[in-house]
């Protein structure tokens, strides 16, 4: 084992800056935990002149960061540029090809090119580590790859995005409309100026795809995944859910049934007494159901420079200690090719909200459409709207096939008495 | 790295039997995750003839299990005998001295001799792994040693014993007396025939001492630790707690303040809305408060052959992969010598229950005793007992020094109007 390893840090935004300063100040502590000194050889970023909270030591600055992948002395590259394409992609591919260990927080890159990158890392016997790419400070990847390595994981799910969870919690707790809650989140630094990937489900999808591949020993599947965000949830839905004993949460769920895997990201109604319903604010939580360990829950802070640095350092120590692992638990040659299914055949109990003109015979027509399509009603509430000319019909259905539910939605949408697109939110018993 | 490692499993009770069969059936799967074959060379136990659910293959049986520590071909010994002294101690010491890797589920042994054993393991560059010793299937040790390695942990606490948690939950939910709940737990296999170490706090204490040493990079401290069990909690206390908005839980808490560490195990009143209050039944939960990751929660099944095997296999894979670590995170030479304090100077808000003869002037006397000893009252409830001749006085105090509270308790105990020893249960804001 080398007594010193040379590190190049590329990307000096919030995360990169925090990581660099942490590492600089904790070199000795990490040596006494790993028996190897983490030596910062280079730092680099797209621009030297960007305003930063700390002074960049000139002797560490590497002008062209692509060189980090080529310079012989560099052992480890920490990629904190971000983005699935462009500079990050080029740097990470070249680094692994040149037998450098790579540590990254880049979930978009790992979700898109993780399989190819893992193959190169395995061939070259170097580490490709990405604990920081999923759920900030929660050691979920290490737990799946090491702590739960004995297990057959059948289902992995949770609240994987702090921004959207903060907005939903805030709409509920502070009685805010979606836009108000988003503004508040932005003010507090919990949402970015362009928060679209946090809100449309893409961020959760990237994390879920990585977790699914790790959990099921499969390759990453980018195609078969349902992705719905939280943009259509309004205050009325939150109120309705409360009235019915539920909370609305954006969840990511990957489950394996008879070797068929379903991946989905969508808002869900969850019983208010359940554990998941109580995860509020920017917290993240991941639950793995597995054999023989049973149910394991990990909860913690999902974002921010501190928690992310905690994960980056855990990856770094794994590399320093010489703990070479297959990036996705299992050798590339043994990763499984499962069929990933869409949700058409999956049955759900759902919340339907149909805003209608308050006229005679409408309820009878709606229930007829449902009966014809084999969607049966478990509970129904009709609320008049404020002006009393319209009404909101809330239906909780029994379990029904996704395709049948979609048909009901399509038919109702085209009825003249329906005011706006009917809403469907799945109910999850988790 | 060796392509095959030879394993001797010693101890074939519930855990050992499950572990042996799991390993036998998952040899290939583990090879494809670690690149090394886990080969069972020997199995052994105190007696060959004990009734077991499986047939022991004769060619694997090692008559004298102490030989496992001597036989050259053995690379890894999995010790599942149990107990801090005797055979387990002798076997583990000899194995590490002879440069065998050791994996154990033996919390009593690790809590008592962990420091000495770790020193030998470090000197001989072998692994000494004990994930299974703390909280069954929850990968808490691996998370502290690897996932959270970057962190400065200031406080670690939780529900670390499933048996006592099941009994307290059951007393509450099913309205049972302590003895009834214990009988039920024994019937369901959640409590052993001799459950004393689960109920008197010793089991939690062993786990807490291990977690504290790992979290604070200190040596294990067996002396300064407060240990109280749940035997004195009765149904009335549970009812009183509910009335006041609390649940009673047996918690283990280790915290570091200005480099002074306090370790304590005791029943606590915890706000019913808090996360910890909702951990019911045999579940375990551990919470670490650290920098920079923030608060991390791990929850899962704390006992049983399946979850314990999950942890043993995670240790095994770490060894198979050649991931040599310092057993207590940090090199023996760098482990810190903190002062471990008792709780005398620590302030607590507590629940006091004083069962008294219902006579004039008693309340005035009790409050006088408290005022004199600087314990002030936040809330007071006086309930008549069923026969109305006696009364139960419940007091919630403001924060007061432990020593003052102890003095109040001592004085009240000797008052003629006090029927039985007054009860003190600390209130924890966790």
Residue A370 CA to residue A374 CA, distance in Å, equals: 6
Tell me, yes or no, whether B315 lies in a domain.
no
What are the chain A neighbours of B331 within 8 Å (beta carbons)? 32-33, 35
**Cα–Cα distance between B284 and B169 in angstroms, integer?**
13
Same domain, A100 and A153: no
Q: Is residue B23 part of a domain?
A: yes
Task: Name the region of A361 (left: φ>0; alpha: ψ -120 to 50; beta: rest).
Answer: left
Whether residue B352 is found in the same domain as residue B228: no
Residue to substitute from B146, B276, B329, interface A, most A β-carbons within 10 A: B146
Which of B133, B151, B167 finishes a domain? B133
Total number of domains constituting chain A: 3
Q: Alpha-carbon distance B174 to B15, whole Å?
A: 30
- Asked if pLDDT for residue A329 goes beyond 60, the answer is yes
Q: Which residues of A touch B329 (CB under 8 A)?
A: 33
CATH number of the domain where residue B377 is located: 3.30.70.260
**Which value does ipTM take for this structure?**
0.93
Over residues A379-387, mean pLDDT: 84
Query: Which position among A207, A209, A249, A423 bears the catalytic label?
Result: A207
Residues B211 and B281 in one domain: yes
> Is B143 in Cβ contact with A143 (below 8 Å)?
yes
Q: What is the pLDDT of residues A290-309, one digit of tens each?
A: 999 999 999 999 889 999 99
CA distance B134 to chain A (A): 13
* Paired tokens of A205: 């999808």
Question: Does the residue B327 lie in any domain?
Answer: no
Please check the confidence at residue B149 and state whether its pLDDT lies above 80. yes
Q: Whole-number mean pLDDT of chain A?
A: 95
Residue B273 has, within 13 A of its CA and on its CB side, a CA count of 5
User: Residues of B numbered 19-48 whose beta carbons fall under 8 angstroms of chain A's beta carbons: which are they?
Assistant: 22, 26, 30, 32-33, 35
Structural domain contains residue B389: yes
Answer yes or no: do A294 and A370 share one domain.
no
- Identify whether residues B262 and B336 lie together within a single domain: yes
What pLDDT shows up at residue A303? 87
Q: Could you give the percent of chain B with pLDDT greater than 90?
A: 88
Long-range contacts of B61-69 (CB under 8 A, 24+ apart): B62/B8, B65/B8, B65/B10, B65/B91, B66/B90, B66/B91, B66/B94, B68/B8, B68/B10, B68/B42, B68/B44, B68/B95, B68/B100, B69/B94, B69/B95, B69/B97, B69/B98, B69/B100
Mean pLDDT of A322-341: 91
A150-159, A342-351, B49-58, B220-229: lowest mean pLDDT where?
A: B49-58
**Interface membership of A139 toward B (CB under 8 Å):** yes
A288 & A386 share domain: no
The shortest C-alpha distance from A272 to chain B (Å) reads 13
**What is the per-residue pLDDT across B37-92, written as a single tens digit (0 to 9) for each?**
999 999 999 988 888 889 999 999 999 999 999 999 999 999 999 999 999 999 99
Domain co-membership, A93 together with A113: yes
Task: Say if A123 is an interface residue toward chain B (CB within 8 Å).
Answer: no
Which tokens in the block code for residue A346? 């999956």
Q: Which residues of B touch A139 (CB under 8 A)?
A: 143, 146-148, 296
Q: Which residues of B touch A291 (CB under 8 A)?
A: 306
B137 touches chain A (CB under 8 A): yes
Q: Is residue B47 located within the same domain as residue B175?
A: no
Show the domain range for B162: 140-301+332-341
Q: Is the pLDDT of residue A212 over 70?
A: yes
Query: Cβ–Cβ of A293/B307 closer than 8 Å?
Result: yes
Structural domain contains residue B324: no
Q: What CATH number is attached to the domain comprising B261? A: 3.30.360.10
**Catalytic residue numbers of B, as ranges:** 207
The CA distance from A368 to A391, in Å, is: 18
In this structure, are residues A96 and A121 in contact, taking their beta carbons and an 8 Å threshold? yes
CATH of the domain at A27: 3.40.50.720
Report yes or no on A368 lying in a domain. Answer: yes
CB A42 within 8 A of CB A9: yes
Tell whether B157 and B207 lie within a shared domain.
yes
At B214-226, the pLDDT tens digits run 999 999 999 899 9
Which residues, numbered 264 to 293 in chain B, qualify as contacts with chain A under a Cβ-Cβ cut-off of 8 Å?
A: 275, 278, 290-293
Residue A166 sits in the same domain as residue A240: yes
Preceding peptide of B303 cis, ω within 30°: no
pLDDT band at A386 (very low <50, low <70, confident <90, very high): confident
Residues A157 and A289 occupy one common structural domain: yes
Contact A307 B294 (CB under 8 A): yes
Cβ B294–A151 below 8 Å, yes or no? no
Domain for residue A261, yes or no? yes
| Residue scoring higher pLDDT (A191 or A428) | A428
pLDDT digits (tens, 9 = 90+) for A172-196: 999 999 999 999 999 998 988 889 9
Q: Which of residues 293-312 of B touch A (CB under 8 A)?
A: 293-301, 305-307, 309-312
Is A306's CB within 8 Å of B325's CB?
no
> In this prediction, what percent of chain B has a pLDDT beyond 70?
100
Are B42 and B190 found together in one domain? no
Question: What confidence tens digit (pLDDT) does each residue in B164-216 have?
Answer: 999 999 999 999 999 999 999 999 989 888 899 999 999 999 999 999 999 99
Give B394's Cβ-side CA count (13 Å radius): 17
Mark whether A207 is an active-site residue.
Answer: yes
Mean pLDDT computed over every residue of chain B: 95
Name the DSSP class of A380: E
Residue B415 pLDDT > 80, yes or no? yes
Where are the strands (E) in A330-429, listed by range?
Answer: 339-341, 347-357, 377-384, 390-397, 400-401, 423-428
- Tell me, yes or no, whether A313 lies in a domain: no
Whether the Cβ atoms of residue B424 and residue B391 lie closer than 8 Å to each other: no
Examine the fold and report which residue of B133, B157, B179 is the final residue of a domain before the chain moves on: B133
**Rounded (10°) angle between helices B178-187 and B162-173:** 120
């Amino acid at each position: 084992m080398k007594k010193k390893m040379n590190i190049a840090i590329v990307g000096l935004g919030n995360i990169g800056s925090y990581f660099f300063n942490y590492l600089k100040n904790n070199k000795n502590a990490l040596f006494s935990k790993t028996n190897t000194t983490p030596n910062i050889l280079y730092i680099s970023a797209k621009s030297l002149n960007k305003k930063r909270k700390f002074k960049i030591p000139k002797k560490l600055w590497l002008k062209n960061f692509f060189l980090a992948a080529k310079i012989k002395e560099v052992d480890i590259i920490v990629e904190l540029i971000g983005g699935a394409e462009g500079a990050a992609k080029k740097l990470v591919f070249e680094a692994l090809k040149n037998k450098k260990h790579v540590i990254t927080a880049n979930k978009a890159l790992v979700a898109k090119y993780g399989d190819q990158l893992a193959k190169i890392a395995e061939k070259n016997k170097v580490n490709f580590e990405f604990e920081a790419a999923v759920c900030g400070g929660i050691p979920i990847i290490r737990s799946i790859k090491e702590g739960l390595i004995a297990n057959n994981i059948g289902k992995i799910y949770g609240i994987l995005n702090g921004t959207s969870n903060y907005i939903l919690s805030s709409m509920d707790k502070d009685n805010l409309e979606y836009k108000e809650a988003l503004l508040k989140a932005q003010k507090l630094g919990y949402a970015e100026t362009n928060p679209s990937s946090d809100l449309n489900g893409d961020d959760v999808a990237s994390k879920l795809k990585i977790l699914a591949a790790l959990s099921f020993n499969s390759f990453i599947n980018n195609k078969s995944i349902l992705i719905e965000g939280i943009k259509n949830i309004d205050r009325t839905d939150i109120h309705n859910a409360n009235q019915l004993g539920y909370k609305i949460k954006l969840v990511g769920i990957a489950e394996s049934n008879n070797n068929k895997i379903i991946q989905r990201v969508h808002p869900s109604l969850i019983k208010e007494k359940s554990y998941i319903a109580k995860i509020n604010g920017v917290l993240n939580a991941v639950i793995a159901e597995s054999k023989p360990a049973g149910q394991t829950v990990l909860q913690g802070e999902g974002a921010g420079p501190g928690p992310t640095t905690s994960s980056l350092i855990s990856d770094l120590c794994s590399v320093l200690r010489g703990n070479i692992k297959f990036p996705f638990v299992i050798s590339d040659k043994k990763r499984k090719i499962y069929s990933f299914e869409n949700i058409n055949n999956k049955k759900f109990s759902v919340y339907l909200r149909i805003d209608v003109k308050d006229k005679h015979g409408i309820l009878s027509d709606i229930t007829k459409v449902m009966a014809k399509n084999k969607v049966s009603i478990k509970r129904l509430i009709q609320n008049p709207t404020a002006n009393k000319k319209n009404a909101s019909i809330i239906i909780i259905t029994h379990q029904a096939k996704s395709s049948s539910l979609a048909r009901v939605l399509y038919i109702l949408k085209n009825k003249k008495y329906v005011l706006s697109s009917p809403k469907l939110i799945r109910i999850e018993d988790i």
